[in-house]
């Protein structure tokens, strides 16, 4: 933000004497992300300090996990990031499989890629639509939810639930896909692909949207790493890291043979295998616009991955393996695994002591670390920019408060 | 992180800080003396090879068997275990550090065990340590702002301790 000088015509309130004031934002849904309270120290329109207060959605999910078997805890992982429940199920299932040294077959592997990437699309659609709401435009939300609805229909057909799926589980998935599902999924993708242009017209290249997001809330590369940011927030700052490519072999093995390019700006340009709009000249690497844009690129990337997964899944003749028993004994030891969820790197830690109930369960959520950077990003910004900055982090309180 | 000579390089830089290791485990880990954790982390972040520039997670595990029958059979003494999961962005490698702490400082119930804060090393640790303090009852010396983060500020007890008892009511609200 440039220095304020008295002659600046933009500063209409400069001759008005202002005092320091504490402003509460929340804790009611400030912008559909969940129950978050921000305490702002302001002087006029300028925010000097921001303090997030979290915990309104705290359910002590980790303690619950110490009293249930891993498969029984799967429904609780749904409620961490409830907009990407499939990815949460997957993260936990893989962590327990890591501890048990269990490997799922090819068919389950491709099914998981297919389902996880489809959920990534729907999560980013909510992120995009809700971000529009944060900035005061209602229509992108309707467009995004129109398409998300189709994905939820597909999930409902596969597992019966529309939001909290408990579908991917330890040892595979609870059920195989119903007949005709793959064709319906392909039909959805064919219909969805041209629509992405509409989103870019509505938001990405929209002059007002660019004015509200470009150059706002710039997160430097070093700060992003220092605060443990991950996912689109980290990649929006130009850090080339995606656990689907860089993670542990247990997880990257799932994407073995899949072709995709990490959505990150390298040497001033984004990967160009699709017709994306160009980066506006006002945008600075690490600002709200870039974080948003990375998500939009990932929608296309995930669509590609779903298509690849459909072919591979269909080519596997064997039946889907039965998931592990509900009361399967866990070996003594501990395992930690991070996976690339839509919001960032979701880590699970499990300690086994030889019984079927884990001794300790830990969920490290990406939004938790992503939100902790708010006070740095909001220092010196305008009050109206606070929702723009917090919204661009695409947080979900369910996984922050756990 | 399993590379040859890595453990030795820590020992050379911080003599006496490494008190144990298990390199054959699923996630190989190194045990650090409680008082030295911040120093070792600082070295790992700024001088070690590779640089562990990012902290993924801090966990406290409460090792206490509340069932007396089972407690007679376990091979360990009751203690708290801090687990630090580190990540190196340039090398794409992980590292696990563990620290053993007494459950209560001086074995006096209610006196929190203390450990140097690593919030000055990685900013991620700020909120993670607050969470561990809030839920597991570990005090971090040198932390800039140590207070509860998920539970209300006047909450009593540390929910992730194995001997935690849920209060029956909170400000007139029935809890169970």
Q: Do B123 and A349 touch (CB under 8 A)?
A: no
Contacts of A336 in chain B (CB under 8 A): 27, 56-57, 83, 85, 94, 96
**How many angstroms separate the CA atoms of B7 and B10, rounded?**
5
**How many angstroms separate the CA atoms of B163 and B174, rounded?**
21
**How many angstroms separate the CA atoms of A212 and A204, rounded?**
11
How confident is the model at residue A74, as a pLDDT? 92
Give yes or no for B42 touching A (CB within 8 A). no
How confident is the model at residue A201, as a pLDDT? 84
Dihedral sign computed on CA atoms, order B8, B11, B17, B19: positive
Contacts of A246 in chain B (CB under 8 A): 92
Q: Do B57 and A360 touch (CB under 8 A)?
A: no
CA atoms within 13 A on the CB side of A314: 13
- Option in A101, A228, A362 nearest B55 (CB): A228
> Has this prediction a pTM greater than 0.80?
yes
Interface with A, mutate which of B45, B74, B85, B87 (most A CBs under 10 A): B87
Kindly write down the DSSP assignment for every residue of A343-355, as one continuous string: TEEEEEEEEE-SS
Q: Do A225 and B127 touch (CB under 8 A)?
A: no
How confident is the model at residue B51, as a pLDDT? 85
How confident is the model at residue B9, as a pLDDT? 83
Kindly identify which residue of chain B lies nearest to residue A247, measuring between CA atoms: B92
- Option in B57, B89, B160 nearest A239 (CB): B89
| Tens-binned pLDDT, residue by residue, of chain B (176 aa) | 555 677 888 888 888 888 888 888 888 888 889 988 888 888 888 887 788 888 989 999 999 888 888 888 888 888 999 999 999 888 888 889 999 999 888 777 878 899 999 988 998 899 999 999 999 989 998 888 888 999 888 888 899 998 888 888 888 888 77
- Option in B56, B61, B151 nearest A338 (CB): B56
Give yes or no for A64 touching B (CB within 8 A). no
Give yes or no for B71 touching A (CB within 8 A). no
Q: pLDDT below 50 — which residues of chain A?
A: 30-31
Give yes or no for B91 touching A (CB within 8 A). no
How confident is the model at residue A6, as a pLDDT? 63
How confident is the model at residue B4, as a pLDDT? 60
Min distance B49 CA to chain A CA atoms (Å): 17
Out of 1.10.645.10, 2.40.128.260, 1.10.1740.10, 3.40.50.2300, select the CATH number for domain A61-401. 1.10.645.10
Q: Measured in Å, how far apart are chain A's first and last C-alpha atoms?
A: 35
Kindly identify which residue of chain A lies nearest to residue B122, measuring between CA atoms: A226
Beta strands A360-364 and B18-22: pairing type? unpaired
Residues in B 116-145 with any Cβ partner in A closer than 8 A: 122-124, 126-127, 135
How confident is the model at residue B2, as a pLDDT? 57
How confident is the model at residue A45, as a pLDDT? 83
Q: Choose among B7, B57, B34: nearest CA to B115.
A: B34
- Option in B57, B127, B135 nearest A372 (CB): B127
Give yes or no for B51 touching A (CB within 8 A). no
C-beta separation of A68 from A75 below 8 A: no
For residue range A261-274, what is the model confidence (pLDDT) as tens digits? 888 887 777 776 66
- As its CATH architecture, domain B6-174 has 2-Layer Sandwich (3.30)
Contacts of A99 in chain B (CB under 8 A): 26
Its ipTM equals 0.89
Give yes or no for A252 touching B (CB within 8 A). no
Q: Do A347 and B54 touch (CB under 8 A)?
A: no
Q: Do B127 and A368 touch (CB under 8 A)?
A: yes
Task: Give every strand in the sheet of B54-63, ordered side by side.
Answer: B18-22, B29-32, B93-101, B79-88, B54-63
Give yes or no for A55 touching B (CB within 8 A). yes
Kindly write down the DSSP assignment for every residue of A113-180, as one continuous string: HHHHHHHHHHHHHHHHHHHHHHTT--HHHHHHHHHHHHHHHHHHHHHS-SS----EETTEESSPPPTT
In 3-state terms, what secondary structure has residue A42? strand
Q: Do B135 and A62 touch (CB under 8 A)?
A: yes
How confident is the model at residue A274, as a pLDDT? 62
Structural domain boundaries of chain A? 61-401
**How many angstroms separate the CA atoms of B52 and A57, rounded?**
32
Give yes or no for A348 touching B (CB within 8 A). no
Q: Which helix (H) or strand (E) holds A192?
A: helix A181-192
Tokens of B31: 């045990």
């Amino acid at each position: 933000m440039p220095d304020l000088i008295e002659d600046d015509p933009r500063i209409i309130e400069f001759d008005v004497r202002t005092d320091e004031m504490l402003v509460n934002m929340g804790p009611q849904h400030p912008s559909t992300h969940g129950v978050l309270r921000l305490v702002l120290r302001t002087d006029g329109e300028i925010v000097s300090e921001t303090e997030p207060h979290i915990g309104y959605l705290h359910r002590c999910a980790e303690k619950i996990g110490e009293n249930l078997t891993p498969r029984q805890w799967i429904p609780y992982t749904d409620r961490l990031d409830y907009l990407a429940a499939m990815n949460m199920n997957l993260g936990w299932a893989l962590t327990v499989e890591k501890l048990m040294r269990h490997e799922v077959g090819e068919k389950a592997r491709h099914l998981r890629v297919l389902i996880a990437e489809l959920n990534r699309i729907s999560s980013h659609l909510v992120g995009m639509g809700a971000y529009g709401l944060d900035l005061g435009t209602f229509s992108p939300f309707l467009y995004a939810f129109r398409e998300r609805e189709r994905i939820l229909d597909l999930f409902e057909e596969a597992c019966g639930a529309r939001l909290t799926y408990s579908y991917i589980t330890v040892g595979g998935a609870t059920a195989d896909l119903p007949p005709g599902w793959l064709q319906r999924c392909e039909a959805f993708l064919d219909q969805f692909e041209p629509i992405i242009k509409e989103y870019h017209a509505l938001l990405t290249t929209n002059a007002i949207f660019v004015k509200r997001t470009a150059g706002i809330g710039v997160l430097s590369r070093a700060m992003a790493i220092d605060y443990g940011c991950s996912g689109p927030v980290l990649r929006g700052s130009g850090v080339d890291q995606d656990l689907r490519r860089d993670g542990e072999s247990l997880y990257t093995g799932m994407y073995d043979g899949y072709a995709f390019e990490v959505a990150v700006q390298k040497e001033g340009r984004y990967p160009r295998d699709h017709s994306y709009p160009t980066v506006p000249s006002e945008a600075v690497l690490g600002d709200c616009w870039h974080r948003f844009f990375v998500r939009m690129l990932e929608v296309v990337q995930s669509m590609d991955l779903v298509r690849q997964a459909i072919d591979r899944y269909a080519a596997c003749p064997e039946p889907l393996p039965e998931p592990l028993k509900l009361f399967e004994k866990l070996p003594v030891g501990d395992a930690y695994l991070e996976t690339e969820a839509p919001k960032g790197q979701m880590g699970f830690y499990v300690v086994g002591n030889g019984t079927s109930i884990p001794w300790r369960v830990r969920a490290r959520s990406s939004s938790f670390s992503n939100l902790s950077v708010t006070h740095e990003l909001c220092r010196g910004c305008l009050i109206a920019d606070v929702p723009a900055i917090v919204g661009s982090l695409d947080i979900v309180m369910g996984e922050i408060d756990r | 992180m399993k590379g040859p000579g890595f453990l030795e390089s820590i020992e050379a830089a911080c003599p006496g800080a490494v008190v144990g290791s298990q390199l054959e485990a699923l996630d190989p880990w190194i045990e650090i003396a409680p008082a030295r954790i911040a120093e070792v982390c600082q070295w790992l972040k700024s001088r070690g090879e590779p640089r562990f520039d990012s902290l993924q997670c801090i966990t406290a595990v409460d090792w206490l068997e509340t069932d007396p029958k089972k407690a007679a059979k376990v091979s360990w003494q009751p203690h708290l275990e801090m687990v630090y999961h580190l990540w190196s962005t340039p090398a794409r490698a992980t590292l696990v550090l563990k620290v053993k702490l007494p459950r209560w400082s001086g074995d006096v119930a209610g006196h929190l065990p203390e450990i140097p804060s690593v919030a000055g090393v990685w900013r991620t640790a700020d909120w993670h340590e607050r969470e561990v303090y809030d839920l597991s009852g570990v005090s971090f010396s040198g932390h800039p702002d140590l207070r509860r983060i998920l539970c209300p500020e006047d909450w009593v007890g540390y929910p992730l301790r194995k001997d935690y008892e849920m209060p029956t009511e909170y400000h007139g609200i029935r809890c169970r």
